[in-house]
Amino acid sequence: MESSVEVSHLSKSYNGQSVVNDISFNISKGEVFGLIGPNGAGKTTIIRMLLDIIRPDSGEIRILNDTLSGELKNKIGYLPEDRGLYKKLTVMETLVYLGALKNMRSKERALMFLEKMGMLPHKDKKISELSKGMQQKIQLIAALIHDPEFIILDEPFSGLDPVNMKLVKDLIIELGKEGKTILISTHMMDQVERMCDRIFMIHKGKGVLYGSVDEIRSRYGKNTVLLEFEGELKNIPGVRKINNSGNYAELILEQDADPGDILKILAAMVRVNKFEISMPSLNEIFIEVVEGT
């Protein structure tokens, strides 16, 4: 498959401290790709290097079969993690200016997106009059206004209420269907689990997992039970770990444990509303990987 982004042996250090250490990955054309890891893992640094905002110490980056140039920047859309806009400009002024910086006359597209995001009534308001969530939507529109081929979204869900989160998710899925290449960077792994085709997991500047979400999860075995229950969970033989969230729990089984036996024990202990044998969540895998290193 044709690659949209090729990153090879990328490294960057600040003050002798390695922030990104020998990272390599590819993003295929039309793929929704997750760059995941905890806060401070080096995700944003990688993104800034992708955009030529900072330069890598070593390594190579090719995007859309090109090294970074002014022309190429017009084909990339970017929603940074740090949200900020000109406070005194109106919504439309902001969008038209940011579009113009991508060499686009963007008025119609701006209006179209504002409509879609339910922001049309606010188009002549100043940015400072908008709520934080609204500003975030404006930034997202700014990232998409020039119809980019490659879209980078750094923590796109942070600070959004559930309604807006769904709105943004739907938009990302729609863009994916349109054949855009999308890179989502986030520490909220359950969010990308269902949206991303493939992921690259980074921890302390080093790549720890790389591949399709399904492949990674099955690599870590069918040894997880998702449980909905009423009552109190205690230690269960054959269960290595319980991620308990009250009425819902993720049970990590030991290698040779039989889920049937576990169910019997559980049935005696609590009222079981749902019992599902599943693959581990990315979150769980990540914790395992990190604790293992």
Partner 1 sequence: MSKWATIAKHEYLTNIKRKEFLFVTFGIPLFMSAIMGVSFIFMDAGSHNEVYKIGYIDRTALFETTNLTNITNFTKYTDEGLARKDLIGNNLTNYFVIPENYTATGRILIYSSKKNFADNVNIEERIKNFLLANLLKNEPPEIIRRINQPIISEYFTLNENGLKNEENGIAILLVPIVFSLLFTLSIFTSSGFLLQGVVEEKENRIIEIILSSVSHKELLQGKVIGLGALGLTQIAIWLVVAASLILINPTISLLVVSQIHISIPLLLYAMIYFIFGYLIFASIMAGVGAVATTSREGQQIAGIFSLAGAFPLMFAQFIIFSPNDVLAKALSIFPLTSPTAMIMRLSITDVPLYELIISLILLVISTYFIMELSVRIFRASLLMYGKKPTIEELIKYVRQG
Q: How many CB atoms lie within 10 A of CB 191?
A: 20
Among 16, 70, 162, 292, binds partner 1 (CB under 8 A): 70
Between 40 and 231, whose beta carbon lies closer to partner 1? Answer: 40
Residue 144 C-beta: closest distance to partner 1, Å = 12
Site for partner 1 contains 74 (CB under 8 A): yes
Between 2 and 124, whose beta carbon lies closer to partner 1? Answer: 124
Burial class (CB in 10 A: 0-12, 13-18, 19+), 260: exposed
Among 84, 121, 162, 246, binds partner 1 (CB under 8 A): 84
Distance CA 106, CA 112 (A): 10
Binding residue count for partner 1, defined by CB under 8 A: 32
Which among 8, 20, 12, 143 is positioned nearest to 62, based on CA atoms?
Answer: 8
Which among 287, 219, 277 is positioned nearest to 253, based on CA atoms?
Answer: 277
Contacts of 82 (CB under 8 A, 6+ apart): none
The angle subtended at Cα 99 by Cα 54 and Cα 71, nearest 5°, is 55
Sign of CA dihedral 146, 151, 154, 159: positive
Residue 98 C-beta: closest distance to partner 1, Å = 6
Between 52 and 193, whose beta carbon lies closer to partner 1? Answer: 52
Site for partner 1 contains 80 (CB under 8 A): yes
Q: Find the farthest-apart pair of alpha carbons in the chain and give their distance in angstroms, rounded.
A: 67
Site for partner 1 contains 101 (CB under 8 A): yes
Site for partner 1 contains 159 (CB under 8 A): no
Among 73, 123, 187, 204, binds partner 1 (CB under 8 A): 73
Between 55 and 194, whose beta carbon lies closer to partner 1? Answer: 55
Site for partner 1 contains 97 (CB under 8 A): yes
Residue 102 · residue 113 · CB < 8 Å = no
What is the pattern of x (binds partner 1, CB under 8 A) and - over residues 11-30? ---xx---------------
Residue 101 C-beta: closest distance to partner 1, Å = 4
Residue 171 C-beta: closest distance to partner 1, Å = 18
Distance CA 279, CA 282 (A): 9
Look at the block and give the residue holding tokens 């009425």.
Answer: 247
Q: Residue numbers of the site for partner 1 (CB under 8 A)?
A: 14-15, 48, 51-55, 70, 73-74, 76, 78, 80, 82-89, 97-98, 100-103, 139, 142-143, 152
